[in-house]
Structure formats: C-alpha cells, structure tokens
Chains A and B, each alone.
Chain A
C-alpha cells in the first residue's frame, strides 16, 4: 500500500489549500467511487482530503430555483419535495443511480465527478490513456460493447457513468466552485471536456478546485422533465443508454426542449440536434421520431456497440412520449 496522508478539514478554505498544496492530493466526499478506486490501486494519491466535515450540504430554495450543497447525499436530493415536484428528472435520475445504501453515501457533487466504469480504466495493469496517459486505449480493439458512440476519440471511448449529471445537464444546472484565488459558476454543459488527445483531463476544474453547490435555475421546462435509464439488470447497474428530457409546451407547441443522453459518450451528452427538431414543433409521433433520429445522426458506433444507436432512438421515443403526454 502506498503511504497516504489523511486530512479532514472543517472549512472550505483549508480544504482547498490542502488539496492545492499537493499535486497528488485527492478529495474524498461520499467515497462510493473513490474508496473503490483506492483499494484497486487505480488512484494512488499521496494525500486524501476528506471534505465530509465541510458545511456544504442541504437543499435551499433560492430565486425560484434550488441550490443544492455539493455534499448533499443523493437520498436527501431524491426525498426533497421541491426536487420531486419541480425537477422530476433529477429525482428520477437520483433514484435510478444507486441502491439505498449508496444513495445515503454518494453526494451530488461527487456524482458529477464519477469516474468511468470502463473495465480497462479500472484494471491498473492494462493500457489506458485516461489512467496512464500515452499507454494506449485497450477498449478500441478490445471489449467496447459498453463504450461511446458519440464524442469519443482515437485515444479514449470510455463513457461517463453518472445518472444525476445527465438530468442536471437537461435542467440547465450550474456548478458553483471555489479555488484559492477565484470562485466560478460553470454551467454543467461547460463543465465536461471531450477526451480528444487528453482523456485524462475530464473537466474544466483545476486541481484543488472544490464544487461547493449545484444550482438549478427556475426554468419553463424543468417541471415537465423526466429521466429514463435502460440497463441490463434492475439493480446496481450503470446505464446502457439513459435520457433526460425537459419540455416547455404551450398551446400544443414545444417552445423549449432539453435533451441529454447518458451511457453513450465520454461526458453527459447534450443532443442539440434533437432539441432543434423539437423546438417549435407539435408533439406528434413524427416529431418524436425525427428528434430521436437526429440525436444519433452523428453517432460513430464500433463493432460491438452498434446496438446503442437504435437503443438511443427507442429510449428517446419513450421518454419524449412520457414527458410530452398531457398537452
């Protein structure tokens, strides 16, 4: 076991300073991902900065929207009446994300930063450009049934595993962060990077930069939102394909649409082409079919994962019909 320094600061400034001071420091929140990666030797930080003592948990109603502290446990997000009533896609996604035990532990901030479930990333002895830059991607010529059909590169085709992140993307959520020199508000849509030639870099966050809250703005489309996750079994399984949609429908016409996909790309994927088809249209079967097809127009499936293209169409067809029902 590599030597490990463990620190549990009780204020944000100290946490950020402790993380920034050690280039190999790792933040620890709910632990549901990081503790496993530590045990498997995928992560080998020299310093663990446990942020569980920071006072950044809880859901607040603010400016008609919600501010969810980064350390709010997923179970508390799912139980909150305002989340259930006004941001149903998030409640659905959180409930689909994990078992009761894990929802009691995992945090909303951590769920945005979950690491990929790619088996090569999680096996410390195989080549993986994300875990060990420059060693190659084992998935491209190996097992890639579960891998990306959108947004991948010749260096990495791993998919982002988070359910909540997909819903937060569709709900125009904004991440509030804090570093030692600045505070930022980053739309979830801007938070994630595509792998390109640097798959080890997954988000805009700088080393030591702390997510302190996730904000959900009041929008015209959040209340009519839902999330659908399709997986190979009903418990403890990550999405083959998932979709979050949010719609503002007035007078039978879709004024605004958000469509986000999970399980198909290295980041939560915004399907803007599908949104463009929906905007200004009536919610008919033809509209739904056109939007579902538009979402995968640029898909580049590989030998083993071509099924995901059709699965995206079917998941979107079902979730759009569900969200669109009721006029």
Chain B
C-alpha cells in the first residue's frame, strides 16, 4: 500500500496477507489493531488479547518476519506486509519443534501466554540458534506468564536449542 491516498475513506475493504493467504477485511474501522482484525474478522484466535498495550506479549506475531505485538499495530499499516501468526508456524496438524518441546517440558499451564511465547521463541532461535541463558531470558522478557514461574518454559527453550544444535552438527 503505497502512494498518497490508498485508504482515504473512513472505513474500507482491504486485503491482508496472513500465513500465506490473501484475506479480505471488509468494511473495517481503520483504527482497528491488527490483533482485533486477526481475531474478530479473520477467525484466527491464536494471538491472544490481554493487556492491549504491548505489555504482555500474548498477541505476538511476525510482520514481515519482525516480532511485534499485534495489539499495537494498526491493521491498515500491515496491508503490504506478510503477517505470520502462531497458526501459520506449523505445517497442518503437525507441531513445530518449539510447540512439541513446550508440551514435553510441561511449559503449558493455562495456555494463555503459550502462543505468544511460541512465536517469540521461534523468533529467537531462528535469529540465534545458540543463545545463552541470559539471551533466552531477554528474548522472552516481553512475554508474561502468570502460571509457570518460567522454569519449564526455559527448559523447553533449552531443549529445542540443544536438539537443533545436535541436528545441525555434521
């Protein structure tokens, strides 16, 4: 969406690219956040709605490969971008290594923070396959979990890191 007057009307139909699919957003208020559009208009409830101010990370998604809080992104601003939500990480019903590791480690309790954490951990390990403990903590510092105390989440991340490390060794 470039040019000077792409969405000049007060509400309009526009298209987003989400998880590789073109999705129509019809007659939307242009002040809506990406999170609201994903959940309420496109039927993608994986990104969770909690703090609405970028505090909790439960709405984490990728926009053009960059980890962001979708509650603070204007959906209209994502028109030219490729959005990837937690629903788009795995192939069909298979789980990603991060998702499987969260299950194996018992890193999931109520589950509310899990999608955001899974997205954030994919971001970390895709950028930095061998993070140190402090780097892991820093990378998930924007994702709040009120159940686990983080111990099992950290264990899950370490397990994926080690597993990917073993796989990549000759």
Query: Using a CB–CB distance below 8 Å, which chain A residues touch chain B?
Result: 1-10, 14, 18, 28, 30-32, 35-36, 38-39, 48, 50, 52-53, 98-102, 104-105, 234-236
Contacts and interface: CB of A to CB of B under 8 A. Distances in A.
B115 interface: no
Contacts of A104: 66-68
Nearest to A30: B72
A7 B4 contact: yes
A30 B144 CA distance: 22
B58 to A, nearest CB: 11
Contacts of A105: 54, 68-69, 72-73
Contacts of A31: 72-74, 77
5 shortest interchain CB distances as A-B pairs: A99-B142, A6-B30, A3-B10, A236-B55, A101-B142
Interface string B120-142: 10010000000000000011011
B52 interface: yes
A2 B30 CA distance: 10
A110 B30 CA distance: 21
| Most-contacted residue by chain A among B9, B54, B120 (CB, 10 A) | B54
B54 A48 contact: no
Nearest to A35: B72
Given A5-B9, A8-B6, A236-B142, A102 B33 contact: no
A100 B137 CA distance: 11
B53 interface: yes
Contact of B60 (A30, A36, A101, A235): A101
A235 B30 contact: no
A7 B73 contact: no
| Most-contacted residue by chain B among A6, A32, A38, A236 (CB, 10 A) | A6
A10 B74 contact: no
Interface string B1-26: 11111111111000000000000000
30 contacts: A1-B29, A3-B11, A4-B30, A4-B31, A5-B8, A6-B31, A6-B76, A8-B3, A8-B7, A28-B74, A28-B77, A32-B69, A32-B72, A35-B73, A36-B53, A36-B71, A39-B31, A39-B33, A48-B74, A50-B76, A50-B77, A99-B54, A99-B141, A99-B143, A100-B123, A100-B141, A101-B69, A101-B142, A235-B141, A236-B144
Given A5-B8, A31-B74, A235-B144, 4 more contacts: A10-B3, A28-B77, A35-B72, A36-B72
A234 B138 CA distance: 11
B46 interface: no
A7 B29 contact: no
Contact of A8 (B1, B9, B144): B1
Contacts of B77: 8, 28, 31, 50, 52
B74 A35 contact: yes
A236 B31 CA distance: 24
Contacts of B120: 100-101
A102 B8 CA distance: 28
A2 B11 CA distance: 11
